[in-house]
Every structure is written in structure tokens, then in C-alpha cells.
Amino acid sequence: MKGFSVAAVIYTIISVALVAGGGYLIISHLPSTALPFSTFSVEERDGYVAYEPRSYKNSETKKMVLILPPSDTASDWMKPWQAQADKHGFMLAGITDWTAEGLQTFVRGGKEEAQVAKMYMSGFSHGGYISCEFGLKNQDVVDGIIPMGAFCSDGDLAGSVQRIPILTIIGDQDTWALGDDGDNLSTFGRTINTELVMVPGIGHQFPDQIMARVGDWVAAH
């Protein structure tokens, strides 16, 4: 288990694979004697999937980005992040089933037990909205939010004050997120303090072309 800081502490390893870039893709199921993560599903099994780059152990500040996929398996949505995780030395984690109770368990338990200094949440489309809702209501444990093809609103704050940074990424042709008239964008800009990146030429698509900027943002925050 040496070298797998998350898995060694609270998880039972099911499989570990060395992937391109030199990091490790860890697919794990949680033992029933550990934290009650039974609400999570990775490929229809209880557990999670995580990616730990070789550079993670040398990182001055231990960081993890939790990715909420809108569909398919979590590992598929983690792949666009891998190069940035390798470059900046932060860990990736993904879960497929993210109920409110389940997220509380994973984020709070995982951050504490894995000794992660900073936990960020990101998701595309519906996953981005859930990242906003959960992150802004749990700012004591979430350190930053990166919604993609989605954006946070004042309703997510539930009456509290925003204390964490947000990076919002939306395609300039994304009528799903912005609405046909763009009113949603002007509204959220008045209530949420966010760095906004409008990606030219794309609609409701994952913004692969600016992942370097996303990685730099995580490293800087």
C-alpha cells in the first residue's frame, strides 16, 4: 500500500493500474467497517476511482479534485484532467452516484482520512450544478468549485456568504447552460463572485482546449 495515500488510509484496493504519465489509476471498494460509502457506485459497484500522479507525493500542498460526471463512468470524465494532475501534482477522484448524503460522507471523510489539505469539486453539465450546490453549502470542507457547462447561483448559497473561489467555464454557444437569450449568465454574474471563462466556438461540450488554464487555476488556489 505504500505510496497510495488515499487508499492506504481508508480504502480497500480492488485494482491498481499504471497509466500513461506514470501515475496510478486506483479502483476501490470500501470495506463495510470503514466509512459508510455504500451510496457510491463505480461501474455499478460500491466504491470510487482515483488517480494519483507520481508528482503527488512531492506536492507542497496536497490537493484533490473531485469530479462529478454527468453520465458514464467517473474514470472517463477524469481522463481530460490527467495531464494537469501530472503537471501540478494534485490527485483526482471520481464517483458516479452522488446523493447529498453520499457526498457528505465522501468529501468530509475522504479529506480528513486522506490528509488532503484542499478539496475542489468540478463537474460538467448536471455534475457542475451539483458541484455548485454542494460546494457552496459546505464551504468549511470544499476549497473551490469548477463548474463546466453550468454555473453557481445565489440559491446555492442558501443565505450564507461565498468564501471560496469559483472558476466557471461555459461555451459561448452553450444555449443549454446560458439559455437562448443569455439571461442566466447576466443574473449569476450579479450574485456570485467567479472567474468566468467563455470558450469560443463551442456549445454544451467539455472544454478540453482550456484544461491547461484549469490546471493552473487549481495550482494557484
Percent of the chain with pLDDT over 70: 71
Going from the C-alpha of 43 to that of each of 29, 49, 72, 171, the distances in angstroms are 11, 10, 9, 29
Percent of the chain with pLDDT over 90: 40
User: Which residues on neighbouring strands pair with residue 209, listed in sequence order?
Assistant: none
Please tell me the number of Cα atoms within 13 Å of 108 on its side-chain side.
Answer: 14
What is the structure's pLDDT at 15?
41
For residues 13 and 213, what is the distance between their CA atoms, to the nearest angstrom? Answer: 32
Any idea what the Cα angle at residue 55 is, between residues 6 and 120, rounded to 5°? 55
Same domain, 75 and 136: no
Residue 45, phi then psi, degrees to nearest 5: -125, 150
Same domain, 110 and 18: yes
The domain that holds 211 is classified in CATH as 3.40.50.1820
Among 116, 143, 166, residue at a domain's last position:
116
Same domain, 8 and 98: yes
Reported residue count of the chain is 221
For residues 149 and 168, what is the distance between their CA atoms, to the nearest angstrom? Answer: 8
Q: Are strands 63-68 and 24-29 parallel, antiparallel or unpaired?
A: unpaired
pLDDT tens, position by position, 190-202: 567 889 999 999 9
User: Which residues on neighbouring strands pair with residue 3, listed in sequence order?
Assistant: none
pLDDT tens, position by position, 46-98: 457 788 888 888 889 999 999 998 766 777 788 899 999 999 999 988 876 66
pLDDT tens, position by position, 112-168: 777 789 999 999 999 999 999 999 999 999 999 999 999 888 888 877 889 999 999
Same domain, 5 and 109: yes
Same domain, 142 and 87: no
Mean pLDDT of the chain: 76
Is the pTM here over 0.85, yes or no? no
Parent domain of 95? 1-116
Same domain, 131 and 106: no
What is the structure's pLDDT at 188?
59
Same domain, 137 and 57: no
Among 85, 116, 147, residue at a domain's last position:
116
Three-class DSSP labels, the chain: CCCCHHHHHHCEEEEEEECCCCCEEEEEECCCCCCCCCCCCECCECCEEEEECHHHHHCCCCEEEEEECCCCCHHHHHHHHHHHHHHHCCEEEECCCCCHHHHHHHHHHHHHHCCCCEEEEEEECHHHHHHHHHHHHCCCCCCEEEEECCCCCHHHHCCCCCCCCEEEEEECCCHHHHCCCCHHHHHHHHHCCCEEEEECCCCCCCCHHHHHHHHHHHHHC
Among 67, 94, 116, residue at a domain's last position:
116
pLDDT tens, position by position, 90-123: 998 887 666 777 788 778 877 877 778 999 999 9
- Per the structure, the count of domains in the chain is 2
Smallest CA-to-CA distance from 55 within 91, 86, 81 is with 86
Cell of 63: 490537493
Same domain, 48 and 102: yes
